[in-house]
Amino acid sequence: MNIEESFLKYFGCAPSRVYRAPARINLIGEHLDYNGGTVLPAAISLYIDAAVSLRNDSKIKVYSLNTNNGFEVNLEEIKKDSKYEWANYVFGVFYILLREGYKIPKGLNILISSEIPLGSGLSSSAALLVLITHLTSEIFKLGLLPIEVVKVAKKVENNYLGLKSGIMDQASIALAKENCCLLLNCDKLEYKHIPLDLGDYTFVVLKTNVPRSLVSSKYNERVEECQKGLELIQKKMNVNNLCEISVLKLERVRELISDDVIYSRVKHVITEQNRVYEFTKALEKKDISKLGELLNESHKSLKEDYEVSGQYLDAIQIAAIHAGAIGARMTGAGFGGCAIALIKKDSFTRFREEVLNEYFNLTKLHADVLEVDIVDGPHKL
């Protein structure tokens, strides 16, 4: 049963339109977005779809084919409630838009179907937020530009859901462009598209099949540790955020931070920011070897300095290198989820088999290795 047939079954009418938004990977620049940094994500060909029809009342009714449950709420009565489960992400968009003064004269029926694995580090939640914001803007002619879609989605996460997330995930999806990655300054919201022309090479997604277990506690813990480090540095250095600090000043930073754990977190942020700039230069030069070296360095830093990888991400990264990847690293917040690897296109079949075998030998779990394309942002089908 396709999404239109499912919509007819659950809502008793045909959808008027269907919208789609992609997942994302972060090529490099992990845990920089909430530190005012510049990151390098790209949208990939794993999608979440939403079939929609207008209602004659003020209800928002949503149903998910993935969870096989649905919820409804009146527009004027929206508030966060644990009973709404995943639908809080949907309802939160309408809550924020109404508070921002946008007119939503009628309710909607929305049926959601996603192929983005939950808890995978591929931003399924950000994809849902961007998708609902985008389709609501189009249907009610709110005129939101892509960057405004990003801001609304972030407000839902921060102000409605209470998550201390940065802006990278929403931006990497809403601003995505086919065959390009997004060089995004998360502090100033300045960005440009960088062509991703790798010739005979490609990025693949390595799925550990261990859901991210963050997570909220560990993620927020890292945010707080970085803030502590910044406060210590600001007593002697005039900086607005950690990502402003050059790697050449690491010795000075070490003098200002006596706590080894706090210093390690700060060290990761500063060195990772430098890796983003080096990675961008290597992309422009098509220096595949340098790209691989930077991917491996990034994973090592996330493992040892930031301590967010864990045994499963480490295992799949090691398996990828042993199978011939030029470089590999975890992507996303960590603590489970996915990694990415840079490989030769014509080696995919052998690479996949070797990674699956070694990962199973190391963990007794079955992984997935996915071929993906770099794609556009949200759009109507």
Q: Residues 137-159: pLDDT tens digits?
A: 999 999 999 999 999 999 999 99
Question: For position 162, what pLDDT does the model report?
Answer: 87
Whether 77 shows a pLDDT value over 90: the answer reads yes
pTM: predicted TM-score of the whole model, two decimal places? 0.92
Tokens of 153: 């989605």
Q: Are residues 188 and 214 in the same domain?
A: no
Contact 95, 135 (CB under 8 A): no
CA dist., res. 355 & res. 222, Å (int): 30
Domain match, 280 and 210 both = yes
Degrees (nearest 5) of the Cα angle 162, 167, 169? 100
* Backbone angle region of 179, left / alpha / beta, with phi > 0 → left and psi within -120 to 50 → alpha: left
Q: Are residues 229 and 361 in the same domain?
A: yes
Whether residue 228 sits in one domain with residue 248: yes
Tokens 């990674």 -> residue: 355
Q: Indicate if 250 and 112 belong to the same structural domain.
A: no
Residue 125: give its domain's CATH number: 3.30.230.10
State yes or no: is 259 an active-site residue. no
**Interacting residues of 234 by C-beta distance below 8 A, sequence separation 6+:** none
End position of a domain, from candidates 194, 219, 236: 194
Task: Tell me the CA distances in angstroms from 36 to 173, 186, 316, one per residue in order.
Answer: 19, 5, 29
Q: What is the mean pLDDT of residues 96-118?
A: 95
Last residue of a domain, one of 194, 229, 252: 194
CB 326 within 8 A of CB 288: yes
Q: Residue 379 falls within a domain, yes or no?
A: no
Average of per-residue pLDDT values in the chain: 95
Nearest Cα to 41, choosing from 191, 199, 232, 233? 191
Give me the pLDDT at residue 213, please: 56
Interval 58-83 mean pLDDT: 95
CA distances from 380 to 143, 162, 304, 327 (A): 15, 30, 43, 35
| Residue 184 maps to a domain | yes
**Active-site entry in 33, 49, 57, 169:** 169
What whole-number distance in Å separates Cα of residue 292 and Cα of residue 317?
A: 12
Looking at the fold, whether 187 and 208 belong to one and the same domain comes out as: no
Residues 6 or more apart in contact with residue 185 via CB below 8 angstroms: 37, 38, 191
Domain CATH number, residue 344 = 3.30.70.890
How far apart, in Å, are the Cα atoms of 78 and each of 73, 128, 311?
6, 18, 41
Within 8 A by CB and 6+ apart from 307, the residues are 264
Which one-letter amino acid corresponds to residue 50? A
| Same domain flag for 31 and 126 | yes
pLDDT tens for each residue of 340-353: 999 999 999 999 99
φ, ψ dihedrals at 142, nearest 5°: -80, -20
Residue 381 falls inside a structural domain: no
Q: For 168-187, write each residue's pLDDT tens digit.
A: 999 999 999 999 999 999 99
Nearest to 37 by CA among 329, 304, 298: 298
Instruction: State the Cα–Cα distance between residues 49 and 97, nearest whole angstrom.
Output: 21
Residues 84 and 188 placed together within one structural domain of the fold: yes
Q: How many domains does the chain have?
A: 2
Cα(60)–Cα(309) distance, rounded to whole angstroms? 38
What are residue 352's DSSP bridge partners?
none
In a domain, 377, yes or no: no
Helix (H) or strand (E) holding 76: none
**What pLDDT, on the 0 to 100 scale, is given for residue 217?**
60
Last residue of a domain, one of 173, 194, 215: 194
β-strands 108-114, 59-64: how paired?
parallel
| 230 and 344 together in one domain | yes
> Residue 142 falls within a domain, yes or no?
yes
Q: Do residue 362 and residue 242 come from a single domain?
A: yes
Establish if 48 belongs to a structural domain: yes
192-212: per-residue pLDDT in tens?
Answer: 999 999 999 999 999 999 876
3-class state of residue 375 by DSSP: coil
CB 15 within 8 A of CB 139: no
Verify that 179 and 234 share a domain, yes or no.
no
**Residues 220 and 164 grouped into a single domain:** no
Radius of gyration for the alpha carbons in the chain, expressed in angstroms and rounded: 21
Would 236 be classed as within a structural domain? yes
Instruction: Express each pLDDT in 284-334 by its tens digit.
Output: 999 999 999 999 999 999 999 999 999 999 999 999 999 999 999 999 888
Its domain, for residue 346, covers: 201-371
Asked if the structure places residue 258 within a domain, the reply is: yes
The pLDDT value given to residue 214: 47
How many Å apart are CA 187 and CA 184, to the nearest integer?
9
pLDDT at 109 over 80: yes
Only one residue has tokens 């004269």, namely: 105
